[in-house]
Structure 1
């Protein structure tokens, strides 16, 4: 799916990269992303490194430095070093978390560094020059509408949230807004599974212990869906009829393709957006062409009918 979405996005912006590069501007671009703590961020790291090579080849003299961080504090320190030691004049950052990174990014921007924020928005938009992300409200809305229809407008649902971030709030708010239109569906609880399989497993164990009837689970991420399904299987619960994850991990797209009884749909949210962000930023910095303040990549519902379009078995995620 990642390659498919990247290709589609590239078509939309392809004209930006067919024009010859202007050699007079040779930015030093720092790329700061979370370490591969789960499948989706593993895809982000893959695309960041792959696109570094592409950008440096396309624009001779441009330098791209990719850094990965295992915590918000490590990422904050890294971006300070990128500015002070590596002398970057451009930063493309996918924040580990929103709140802890807002001030450090703002400080770097105040020193003249052009900042593109990707995916996990900061709590203060003034700390950035540009923003590139998937459609997070759409991600929650598409999942909510599908689940409401699949549940026939009634039943009990539990929610697993991601890491506390602006995008998680956007997703959950949009999902809950859909559910308000379906009074027959009761949201029993929502807890943070941190986009992590083990954390999601523990959260789902708690849900299964406390609630005797759960009809559906919005895992809101394919890694969390793995933990959710493991907990359901261990508890030998048969009441859960639907698990919807998200982000298009190849294993879950395959489940949809194969007609899995619990996993009948997915919602796209590709880690290749870091590639889009880096290419857009590099083109703008080299040529001087203004970069859009906001670039949003749509979320698409994946069902058995269209799953083959989003299945790439050789992709890293």
Structure 2
């Protein structure tokens, strides 16, 4: 009888521990993901890769992903995620005006990991490619192909905030550093192929000779190349880009007259941002900023970067 009682007590204690462990194992961290609405293939890929990584970590986290069309909508969604109980938020705040709501989230005890965009808020973790170095590499690339003299069009995107500012700064600083004496013409555009086509078509009318185009984005560059083709221009020797678009990669070997270049800035980097959020919530020590180095892709190495499963 005593032996049976002991076995019963031990078994009961074991089941209690197992059940308690099961409940504990079900406690998952809540992570919110905020991304812009899809206006660009790269942005679509960001949301795709973020959700894919969250699914891979579903044994550790619950997640909600929301997309927005402007800062006010993203702010409202951030508030919704707070109400839901998010412990961390991975945000891609593409517009100005997100500083205050992100600061308030941090003050409420929520960990915030910014993807790509740099904003002036203390306590934010950030994961991004090296936008400044993309400009640096673009300057070296153009100088290597056309020398240090010539006419170069610079396509900036002021609405992209620090992304455009840093890429342009890296480009201009490097031109000065290497002593490139270019005739520069700077125009505002957008990160879309439609804008690249329309704006470059106008630029080609204004300038009868251009040696190179410093474009910051693969989508824009596809439009630029279309405009050059439609105008029948043979003077342009280099068109740069940025992002990592499969369609753009595939164009590289087909145009022998123009060196088509992309400074790789893969949307898959957002997976690292999700990982940072998880590590912070699990108490791991994580650097405040994680910068992923630039890789240059052109017709000499594009095959290494082809990915048939990529959404971008």
Task: Say whether 1:55 aligns with 2:57.
Answer: yes
Matched with 1:29 is: 31
Task: Say whether 1:91 aligns with 2:89.
Answer: yes
Is the Cα–Cα contact under 8 Å of residues 256 and 266 in structure 1 kept in the other structure? no
What's the CA shift for 1:164? 3.0
Give the whole-Å Cα distance in 1 for the aligned partners of 2:265 and 2:278. 23
What's the CA shift for 1:130? 0.8
1:200-259: per-residue Cα shift (whole Å, max 9, x none)?
223212322322221111111100011112222233333222211121211222222456
Q: How does 1:192-211 map to 2 (within 5 A)?
A: 193-211=189-207
Task: Say whether 1:190 aligns with 2:192.
Answer: no
Secondary structure of the corresponding residue to residue 49 of structure 2: helix
Structure whose alpha-carbon radius of gyration is higher: 2
TM-score by length of 1: 0.85
Is the Cα–Cα contact under 8 Å of residues 197 and 224 in structure 1 kept in the other structure? yes
Aligned length in residues = 287
Give the whole-Å Cα distance in 2 for the aligned partners of 1:212 and 1:114. 52
Q: How does 1:131-146 map to 2 (within 5 A)?
A: 131-146=126-141
Matched with 1:69 is: 68
1:144-200: per-residue Cα shift (whole Å, max 9, x none)?
101111111111111112333112211110001122233432211232x22112222
Is the Cα–Cα contact under 8 Å of residues 281 and 291 in structure 1 kept in the other structure? no
Task: Say whether 1:282 aligns with 2:271.
Answer: no
Give the whole-Å Cα distance in 1 for the aligned partners of 2:65 and 2:275. 14
Q: How does 1:108-187 map to 2 (within 5 A)?
A: 108-122=105-119, 124-126=120-122, 128-162=123-157, 163-180=159-176, 181-187=178-184
Task: Say whether 1:40 aligns with 2:42.
Answer: yes
Matched with 1:15 is: none
What's the CA shift for 1:25? 6.7
Give the whole-Å Cα distance in 1 for the aligned partners of 2:135 and 2:58. 36
Task: Say whether 1:104 aligns with 2:106.
Answer: no
Give the whole-Å Cα distance in 2 for the aligned partners of 1:188 and 1:26. 53
**Can you give the 5+ residue segments of structure 1 that lack an aligned partner in the other structure?**
1-21
**Higher relative contact order structure (alpha carbons within 8 Å, sequence separation ≥ 6):** 1
Pick from 296, 305, 309: which aligns with 1:301? 296
Is the Cα–Cα contact under 8 Å of residues 255 and 263 in structure 1 kept in the other structure? no
**Can you give the 5+ residue segments of structure 2 that lack an aligned partner in the other structure?**
1-23
Give the whole-Å Cα distance in 1 for the aligned partners of 2:236 and 2:254. 19
Backbone CA RMSD of aligned residues: 1.9
Pick from 258, 261, 268: which aligns with 1:265? 261
Secondary structure of the corresponding residue to residue 30 of structure 1: strand
TM-score by length of 2: 0.86
Give the whole-Å Cα distance in 2 for the aligned partners of 1:182 and 1:307. 29
Give the whole-Å Cα distance in 2 for the aligned partners of 1:140 and 1:36. 25
Task: Say whether 1:216 aligns with 2:212.
Answer: yes
